[in-house]
A = this chain, B = another copy of it.
Amino acid sequence: MSESRETVSSKDTEEVIMEATFRALSKHGYTDLRMRDIGEEMDLTRQVIHYHFDGKYDLLSAFLEYVIDQYEGSVEVDETDDPRAELDARIDQCLFGPEFEEFGHWERMKVYHELYTHAQNDGDHREIFDEHYDRVRGSIVDVVEDGIEQGVFEPVDAERMGQLITDVIHAARGRRMALGHTDAPEEARAAIDDFVLSSLYADD
């Protein structure tokens, strides 16, 4: 952090706090996280956290939206006229992740999945995740539907396939992190190709 205490704007300050939260969560995990751990990860005084956020829960809710916005904003897939290429690109982005500057995809995913599991106890977080999940699944369903419309894909149940692919992606990422299966995303990609997408390309 190079910002001096005098010159940071409110927006910058929030970003500084969010990135400090990231580092603190990566180190301590959700369970053991204390506000002071976040304070220790930034150059600003800890009081600015209390100025911007109404306690740990409020901060973590804002953080969850920040992580999801950042993730969704960084997905770069050209909407081409080739549904097959677009579908492949979308699956790869979800499985292997876009690159970020300071922290990699997996550090971000680790925090994401931890908050996801905790959402079962938390209506607000659940809603944020649910909307994100809908957008991810929707982007896969859309391209499958486009392909069917163009006659490039076989006429499958696009909703059902989009859901299946989204579930496989989520499980493979979770398995890589929780169980340390580093090949999980590659395995999932191969399994999606062999057993799921094959239904789209019946003539191949």
Contact = CB atoms under 8 A, between A and B. Distances in A.
A179 B118 contact: no
B119 A117 contact: no
A160 B110 contact: no
A170 B179 contact: no
Nearest to A164: B191
B130 A179 contact: yes
Interface in A108-164: 110, 113-114, 116-121, 126, 129-130, 133, 156-157, 160-161, 163-164
A29 B118 contact: yes
Counting chain A residues whose Cβ lies within 8 A of the other chain, the interface size class is 35 or more
B163 A170 contact: no
A96 interface: no
Interface of A is mostly: helix
A178 B30 contact: no
B196 A195 contact: yes
A117 B178 contact: yes
Contacts of A110: 120
A130 B118 CA distance: 21
Interface string A5-46: 000000000000000000000000111000000000000000
A166 to B, nearest CB: 8
B178 A160 contact: no
Contacts of A196: 195-196
25 contacts: A31-B31, A31-B118, A113-B117, A116-B117, A117-B117, A120-B177, A126-B178, A129-B178, A129-B179, A133-B179, A160-B190, A161-B191, A163-B187, A164-B168, A164-B188, A167-B171, A167-B172, A168-B168, A168-B171, A170-B171, A170-B174, A170-B175, A195-B195, A195-B196, A196-B196
Which 7 pairs, one residue from A and one from B, show the smallest C-beta to C-beta distance?
Answer: A167-B171, A171-B171, A164-B191, A117-B117, A31-B31, A119-B178, A120-B177
